[in-house]
Structure 1
């Protein structure tokens, strides 16, 4: 059922999987685009063994599978099913947290490459651990919170269809609790990302002002990777802020009621993140640290002698 009212009290609420008819064309286009960039990332990972790309690669799978779920939902309009809805909403929601984990880890490698650990606000031994821990917390909160919302809606539909009945207050409370957890997870993500950008900017400014021998070397293109890091971080941060506003408004909010917000502020920015990393791949930083293969686009290069003796 597309829309079910639970209970007959004045505060009863109508549960709807979507508050618009989802676009099948948009879902299919982004499923194809995310699949394409993910397959390129899979090829790059297999050839370069850049382990920090694993979270982003998994997030890429989440994205294209999620948009297949949206396409299935679009084909069911207006009689949407819980399965396709849950797949798309959960996977698309949490994928950027996996992208963020790769971004956090790359900064640590860039600092190592520049031999500039003394310019970092946080010691290198703690930098990745702190930010990835915050990212994991955000990921878990979003996943659990969204599952809470979906489970509540699913339970409400099931009980109404079986004729058992359920009070609106109980269902509304469960849904709101789930939304609050998702909102909290997104807030954690925004806070950690803002702090991460502060750490990155301070490192960048200090290294520019007091360069190390390696950061001054023309063979160490750390500034190029920092620019990409800033760009993808900004894209993830903007997306997270819009999502935060979406869940703060609730199920009847303006953002959640208009599909174009998803595609403009989530789908497109996250696709750009993946494509940017296809072309300016972190394997270059890895290869300069330890030697081995690096990838830029579909081209592979080999670094025989690492710039740094050991990671």
Structure 2
């Protein structure tokens, strides 16, 4: 597939390798920007409105003026898919920064335009992991206090994910003050006695678009879901554990720190939520 990149603030489309910015770019030098990763199934967006809404919430939180309306960016992203003749599974990565200006910590002049771009990338579903489940490790959450903003400041997440990978695991489960917050790139859920628990949507986690949908799935399936943080110690006695994200969907966690969760197999509630996700996204059921 020929992948195009777009400078959305200029409504211009170009080949991805032709894009350049001045070296004094605030996203590069300060992480002064925000982003979204939007899932595509068979050439169609999933949860596009939810991602666009969160982009604007993140922008408002860091006082970043986006150079488009929600409707304009939605139309441009749809055009990006059309220009790529996208018919497969993939993602769009969308990023906005405070622009290019001489390096100083304070904001640049008010008339400095934001730098905004997006690109399409093929990304097949993680079928094997969705079916069989994944392993994780626990780590201390060393991120900043505003994790609800989907900002470019991801170094703690990167280090946590790398530690997980070096230990042969898919994800790092983050713990702060004796409570599990989320994963390095996902939201976390524990199931005990047919009851689902997950950290509340405070400043300490990113309120994932899939997370918001899973709350509705649980309600439809008549499983109580309580937004209440659980301890790392509770994981050992969990009936089920799973994570969610735009690229991982509803993913069973079957082992943590080398020890199995329950019988070491994906649980029935996780399976039902996977089925609900696939029906909502109108994609094939890989677990049946």
Q: TM-score, length-normalised on structure 1?
A: 0.25
Structure with the larger strand share: 2
The TM-score normalised by the length of structure 2 is 0.26
Give 1 or 2 for the bigger CA radius of gyration: 1
